[in-house]
Every structure is written in structure tokens, then in C-alpha cells.
Chains A and B, each alone.
Chain A
Amino acid sequence: MEAAVFAVGAVICVAGAAGVILNRNPVHSALSLVATLFGVAVLFIAQEAHFLAAVQVIVYAGAIVVLFLFVIMLLGVDRSEDLADEPLVGQRPAAVVVGLLLGGVLAGTLSAATITGLRSVGGEADDGTPNVTQIGRLLFTDYLFAFEVTSVLLVIGVVGAVVLARRSGAGANVDADEEVDEISSRDSEPVEESA
């Protein structure tokens, strides 16, 4: 049973990943990415990581890819990229060779080595409690510091996004503490509500 699930998930993953690389249109690449993310979520479920499978679909497919698509639509860069256009001669074949070498090294490591490492003594995955409970307990005990640092990271991310996305040009910038004539005049003369 698990073999069938793995086979289907693996095919979806690899096909989606190939689609991301080979599609000329960025929108199609983003949709192929969704396929890969769903395939990975299926493989998460096959390996008993139910909470992360749900988070994978919600955060990745639901938020990140939508953000990608939003940026593609916003900027109108959904024109096709000419894959035959080579600014650096021979860079693409070299890149493919490097990718194949990387895959070969990883696969070679996999076939030559055995899985080592200590089995868990404190956070067993099969102690009978639900997956979410286990992750939550570990998150707020052993990984509490990392969790707090994550919140700092998210705040920095929000501030960075606002700073970067702000249109920096004359007239477009309005400081928060600066008096804006239109707004203050509008406040002083409230519009009569018609009954």
C-alpha cells in the first residue's frame, strides 16, 4: 500500500519539478510547483507527519504560491522566456552537467552509506499521543528559543517587505506624522448625511 502511495507521490513530485524548470511561462511554472508541493504533502502523510502535511498545503500551496502568482500578475512578467537565448555561451549545458553531477553524488552517497544516528530517547514519534501534541510539546520545551527567534525573524520579514515595497519617489512618500492637507480639511468639514 505504502509503495503505491510513494510511487504516485514521487511521480507527481518529479513531474512537477520538471515542469517548474521546463515551462517557459512563469505562471505554468508556479502551477507545476503546486503539483510538487502536493506530492510532497502526500509523502508526508505516508510517513506519519500529518500536521506538517496540512501545513505544507496551507502555507506553501495556499500562501506562498499565491504570492508568486500575485507578483507575476502584478508585474506582468508572464511573458515567455526564450530558453534558446544564451547570454553566456555554454552556461546552460554546463549547468545541466553540474546538476547531474550533484544528483549523482547524492545518489552515490545514498547507495554507499547506511542510515545512522541515535534513535530518539525523549521525543518518540510512536508514544501514542497525536502528532500535533507531540510537535507542540517539543516546540514549547526543547525548541522554545528557536521558536522565539522565529517570531523575531517574521517581524524583520514584515518590516523588510514594507520597506522594499514602498514606492520611493517624490510625492508618493507620506510620512505618518506629516500633516496631510486633504485629510485634515475633510475631517473639519464632515459630509452631511442624507436621510
Chain B
Amino acid sequence: MIAASTVDPAWYLGLGAVLFSLGATGLLVRRNPLVMFMCVELMLNAVNLTFITFARQLNDVGGQVVVFFVLVVAAAEVVVGLGIIVSILRRTPGATADDVSLLKG
């Protein structure tokens, strides 16, 4: 049985909003591609927390299954993204996000 929530779900959702904003801010502020990637993971985790909160609130396991899929997609994304970062940094050591401007008009 699910115990009655003693914490207002709005608190969990608020924490998710704070984590998402922190991740988005970090993505915009940092230049190191690896740290930018970590900030993307932060945003994904904030969304996961929101999904879990709604799953509990609406008494539906479907939300937890969605989080499962988000985890899988995040893992695949990290593998491909780190592959791209490795090949970029191998070509130009010490590159930051500003150095990857090949498509600039």
C-alpha cells in the first residue's frame, strides 16, 4: 500500500524545477563540453523526479515506466555524446564549446 503522502507533492515539483533551472543555467554558463553534458544529466534527473512525483500522485505506475525509458535514452545519449566529445578533443586538445564553430556562417 502507498502510504499517504506527508509531504506536499508541490515540494517535490519545486525541487524538480530548481534542479532543472540549475542544469539549464550551467549549460549556458560553462564552456567545458563535459561539464555541459553533466548539466544535461541534471536536467534529465529533474524531469525524472517530476515524473515520479506525478506517478505517485496519480497512483499510476506508467510514470515510473517513463522514467525507465528516460534512463535508457540518457545512457545511449551519454555514449554517443562522449564519443563525439572524445573525437573533437582528440583533434583539437583543450577545445571548449566556443571552438566548435565549423558551421558558423
Residues of chain A having any CB pair with chain B under 8 Å: 1-3, 6, 10, 13-14, 17-18, 20-21, 26, 29-30, 33, 36-37, 40, 43-44, 46-49, 51-52, 55-56, 59-60, 63-64, 67-68, 71-72, 74-75, 77, 79, 81, 87-88, 91-92, 95-96, 98-100, 102-103, 106-107, 110-111, 115, 117-120, 123-126, 128, 131, 134-135, 138-139, 142-143, 146, 150, 153-154, 156-158, 160-161, 163-165, 167
Contacts and interface: CB of A to CB of B under 8 A. Distances in A.
B69 to A, nearest CB: 6
A133 B83 CA distance: 35
A124 B60 contact: yes
The 9 A-B residue pairs whose C-beta atoms are closest, nearest first, are A99-B25, A103-B21, A95-B28, A164-B83, A120-B60, A106-B17, A157-B76, A21-B26, A126-B2
A134 B61 contact: yes
10 contacts: A2-B5, A44-B49, A47-B55, A60-B41, A63-B75, A64-B41, A71-B85, A75-B89, A81-B96, A99-B29
B68 A55 contact: yes
Interface in B35-86: 35, 37-39, 41-42, 45, 48-49, 52-62, 64-65, 67-69, 71-80, 82-86
Interface residues of B, number: 76
Nearest to A114: B10
Contact of B39 (A21, A56, A67, A117): A21
A43 B12 contact: yes
